[in-house]
Structure 1
């Protein structure tokens, strides 16, 4: 049964709020992997951005911010498709491309009929991912919910409806993203790994697959940082601990099969 994060200590938590900023500008990046007329991006008058995945495997569609950021608050309200979406990856993320690319990801891994969506957070630095996965305490297909990344020089915080669910602390320069990154949204066929490690593939008899985005907030952090750029205070931290105890289903530091030479922070 789905529950709201009102466990012990969390009921008094104050969510991290975000103020409205000017509408950010994006450009379509069309097909993620190769040109295809079967994947598309549409703006609605809300303004709302809708991504579609239809047609063939290894395709996708997305959007990209027109400017890069060195740190900041990046959020959007997102509504996912109901029904069978196994193999489909819907994402909102930051990424730097040159050299060994860095990413800070919020990803929704498609589901079978019997299973819920999995929300995957990931900090990808110097060739290795740092994933933590959650089953949400609500149905993300019924309504829009707010998902955000707060990235400052000391930490990265992932938020759901303004409640922090994960904090990734900077423990060394080699395990923390420092290069400017662009903001992206995408939907694509990730059948090889997205659902139960690739056991369940995208079934195009259920197409089109649709993801909806609106209420974008992109605010860069500077030396005169906004409240968004503060570390997590004690009260929201209680809510984060409750979410992790009750809804986290995977953490890369728990995984004994991982190469610890690539993730030394797990031993710190």
Structure 2
């Protein structure tokens, strides 16, 4: 069984690499713009890639020009190398409201392998749903694919086409589910206050550089708050094949949970939240 899963991982990784070649031409400015740390953001390779830098003076971040009500969102990232303790590199979706929705990929900087990837889900202002995995590769050495599927049935986080997290729509169980228009954001910033377990950032290692590629967006653009219009099957990511994981992806997902996940918010509670069993 272990060798079968390894073969599946290799297949999904190669599929991700093949797809990336066709998508690498979108300009950063076609769909995104820099929002802070302007002198720490550098478009390169004919604006098909952007370098964000963190030093003691500032980090940097960008966001999409539009808001979305559903989609299959992706980016390719290479995170800072060296001793990056306290450095947080993120790719996420977030709404603009007091009771906000948010879907996070967050790399928690480290000085040794394995590297930690944290995901989190906020719905109607309620977060605290962190899961952490140790990656099966070094994310500082090359670009890798990070995707978020968001439709009215489920949210799935993917790394190199491998599903690492599922959050299903369990409103019938009283669980909030993201349903607000969200923008896409990327950033690198100093989070040593909470992301490093009390360790301080070694600024002698600065500048810390994160790289982002592939700026085309598969999403339903919203200019108002009528998210329901983004649930149409006209959008391919809303069709039935994306309502749940197929058997192959389910096997890969179960393997990630068993072998690479080392923290799950569900384990914090003597009585886990109602969505926990459904999302396994």
TM-score (structure 1 length as normaliser): 0.84
Q: Which residue of 1 aligns with 2:250?
A: 237
Q: Which residue of 2 aligns with 1:220?
A: 219
* Alpha-carbon distance, 1:129 to partner: 2.4
Query: Residue 249 of structure 2: SS of its match in structure 1?
Result: helix
Q: Is the 8 A contact 2:120 2:127 kept in 1?
A: no
Q: Tell me, in whole angstroms, the C-alpha distance in 2 between the residues paired with 1:55 and 1:121.
A: 26
Q: Tell me, in whole angstroms, the C-alpha distance in 2 between the residues paired with 1:153 and 1:204.
A: 43
Q: Which residue of 2 aligns with 1:28?
A: 34
Q: Does 1:254 align with 2:267?
A: yes
Q: Does 1:121 align with 2:119?
A: yes
Alignment coverage as a number of residue pairs: 250
* Alpha-carbon distance, 1:256 to partner: 3.1
* Alpha-carbon distance, 1:127 to partner: 2.9
TM-score (structure 2 length as normaliser): 0.80
1:118-174 superposed Cα distances (whole Å, 9 cap, x missing partner): 101110122322111111001111111111111111111000111111111111164
Query: Residue 187 of structure 2: SS of its match in structure 1?
Result: strand
In angstroms, what is the RMSD of aligned CA positions?
Answer: 2.7
Distance 1:235 1:48, change over 3 A: same
Which stretch of the first structure deviates more once superposed, 228-237 or 102-111? 228-237
Distance 1:190 1:7, change over 3 A: farther
Q: Is the 8 A contact 2:60 2:188 kept in 1?
A: yes
Q: Is the 8 A contact 2:175 2:274 kept in 1?
A: no
* Alpha-carbon distance, 1:264 to partner: 4.4
Q: Tell me, in whole angstroms, the C-alpha distance in 2 between the residues paired with 1:247 and 1:226.
A: 30
1:94-140 superposed Cα distances (whole Å, 9 cap, x missing partner): 0002121211000100002x343210111012232211111100111
Q: Is the 8 A contact 1:120 1:132 kept in 2?
A: yes
Query: Residue 40 of structure 2: SS of its match in structure 1?
Result: strand
Q: Which residue of 1 aligns with 2:195?
A: 194
Q: Tell me, in whole angstroms, the C-alpha distance in 2 between the residues paired with 1:6 and 1:119.
A: 23
Map 1:55-94 onto structure 2 (within 5 A): 55-56=56-57, 59-94=58-93
* Alpha-carbon distance, 1:225 to partner: 2.5
* Alpha-carbon distance, 1:194 to partner: 0.7
Higher helix share: 2
* Alpha-carbon distance, 1:9 to partner: 4.7
Q: Tell me, in whole angstroms, the C-alpha distance in 1 between the residues paired with 2:258 and 2:238.
A: 25
